[in-house]
Chains A and B, each alone.
Chain A
């Protein structure tokens, strides 16, 4: 049976895809090899994992002001996650998602969204209605 997690209304179009989940944070500038489309910071829990076309589910977005430009650059290069799902974001990532038109949501009614969704789950993200639906469990 599908499960729905409510969140704050977000940014970008409704999308469906495979989740890639970790209890860790996100910075476009410091965590990613944006050419290869993999997590490149050795200390990151998703180190070596490809984020291309995945829906990233992480704790919080960090990093400096540069990330605001970088999401659009990633989207235009085609090497990009399909959507970003966070417990909370800082202003820069929200501005960057708005500039890029990349789907992003945060502020869930559960304590920790990274505990509710598992890598490999098929999920649907609807920013205008403010929910994430887990359509198919991976396990």
Chain B
């Protein structure tokens, strides 16, 4: 790999042991993917909840945090994905003191590196939205697919250690979605049925994700009758990334790199379209159906809710009451939580018996341990991403519209 002088100096240890580790890691990954060099990046976004890092990851971060200040400071604005624990709500969710202690140690280590603890997976809606052509090192698959597809920025899925390495060097190996040739459409899907609710958009992401089924393929979706909004594409992208490891999609006429169908395929042959029908949507929902079952927990999360979603939840809950045997939670970022407090949305959700959590995401918050401690099994959500993941944590998930989720929470059973 070709390295510039500053990077060579970092590799030689002239900028301390922390940056040497970072460049060594990047060279190893870069060679694996045949990167010719490193590309400067504008921001890094790190997924590092303690459930993912484990205690050894926390030890690793604390070792970096003990380095001299000049050696350990991040070189570019660096922000974080949701944490494992909301310090204001952990007791009510029966999370343990040891989880809280581990999380606090990790936060302290990140802060020592100059990382901004944004604790969000909707930074593209709330912190600093990426710009077309901007190279980034983003963690969280939902953040990457949205930034690449909807905004035309350029990032691979960067796992925690790789995003951290990029933060410390200000660069990342130039492979995958940093390259023009990897961003060309490879599959073509045509909608024969229009999604309406947010859960439909997630279901569509799940359907496209399953059919795409590779990080290295780029689906192109046609047949939409109107331009979707940011929350709709957020749910679509998060589900496509979760079900199929997809990192980039194009919607001709909507997403910036595909002004038309031919541009989505870079002027090359347009593959025959595979139709996505109402039957595909029905089959997707059917895979997660459970009418009549007792509901233990209703979750609005994955991705965190925008201010508009918080308002929608609050409005659906006005004058209602969550069933005493059911827990309902709406999960958002610290910025949106503050705005929801200020605008009375939190109060409205809490008045109906709901919980509002900030800076976490349900599946990154020791979901298995919460299920065991609270006796939770049946989970209802409007997030297709969540129903995909949460089965592995011992839950029985049901996908439903936001309205049906609230109905189910108040009835105490799947409505």
Chain B residues near A76: list those with CB within 8 A: 56
From residue 130 to 181 of chain B, which have CB atoms closer than 8 A to chain A?
139-141, 156-162, 176
**Residue of A29, A65, A69 contacting most chain B CB atoms (<10 Å):** A65
Bound complex: CA A90 to CA B212 (Å) = 14
Across the interface, A30 reaches (CB within 8 A) one of B31, B162, B364, B389, namely B389
Known: A60-B214, A91-B157. A98 touches B51 (CB 8 A): no
Total interface residues on B, CB under 8 Å, equals 37
Total cross-chain contacts (CB, 8 A) = 98
Known: A69-B53, A91-B215. A99 touches B245 (CB 8 A): no
Bound complex: CA A54 to CA B159 (Å) = 25
Bound complex: CA A72 to CA B51 (Å) = 13
Bound complex: CA A63 to CA B139 (Å) = 13
Bound complex: CA A118 to CA B50 (Å) = 37
B57 lies within 8 A of A11 (CB) = no
For residue A13, CB closer than 8 A to chain B, the reply is no
Q: Shortest Cβ distance from A112 into chain B, in angstroms?
A: 15
B51 lies within 8 A of A68 (CB) = no
Chain A residues near B364: list those with CB within 8 A: 66
Known: A72-B57, A99-B25. A91 touches B31 (CB 8 A): no
A95 lies within 8 A of B54 (CB) = no
For B21, give the chain A residue with the smallest CB separation. Answer: A99
For A66, give the chain B residue with the smallest CB separation. Answer: B52
Bound complex: CA A114 to CA B389 (Å) = 26
Chain A residues near B160: list those with CB within 8 A: 65-66, 68-69
B141 lies within 8 A of A94 (CB) = no
For residue A17, CB closer than 8 A to chain B, the reply is no
A90 lies within 8 A of B157 (CB) = yes
Across the interface, B158 reaches (CB within 8 A) one of A30, A41, A91, namely A91
From residue 20 to 76 of chain A, which have CB atoms closer than 8 A to chain B?
29-30, 41, 60, 62-70, 72-73, 76
Contact with B along A5-25 (1 / 0, CB 8 A): 000111100000000000000
B392 lies within 8 A of A95 (CB) = no
Query: Could you say which interface size class chain A belongs to?
Result: 20 to 34
Across the interface, A70 reaches (CB within 8 A) one of B48, B52, B141, B215, namely B52
Bound complex: CA A77 to CA B55 (Å) = 10
**Residue of B53, B81, B141, B161 contacting most chain A CB atoms (<10 Å):** B161
B57 lies within 8 A of A67 (CB) = no
Across the interface, A72 reaches (CB within 8 A) one of B33, B56, B157, namely B56
Bound complex: CA A133 to CA B47 (Å) = 37
A70 lies within 8 A of B54 (CB) = yes
Chain A residues near B54: list those with CB within 8 A: 69-70, 73
For residue A119, CB closer than 8 A to chain B, the reply is no
Bound complex: CA A95 to CA B29 (Å) = 6
**Residue of A11, A72, A88, A92 contacting most chain B CB atoms (<10 Å):** A92
Bound complex: CA A131 to CA B351 (Å) = 63
Bound complex: CA A30 to CA B395 (Å) = 13
Q: Shortest Cβ distance from A90 into chain B, in angstroms?
A: 4
For residue A81, CB closer than 8 A to chain B, the reply is no
B161 lies within 8 A of A99 (CB) = yes
A95 lies within 8 A of B162 (CB) = yes
* B contact set with A: CB distance below 8 Å: 25, 28-29, 31-33, 47-49, 51-57, 60, 81, 139-141, 156-162, 176, 214-216, 242, 245, 364, 389, 392
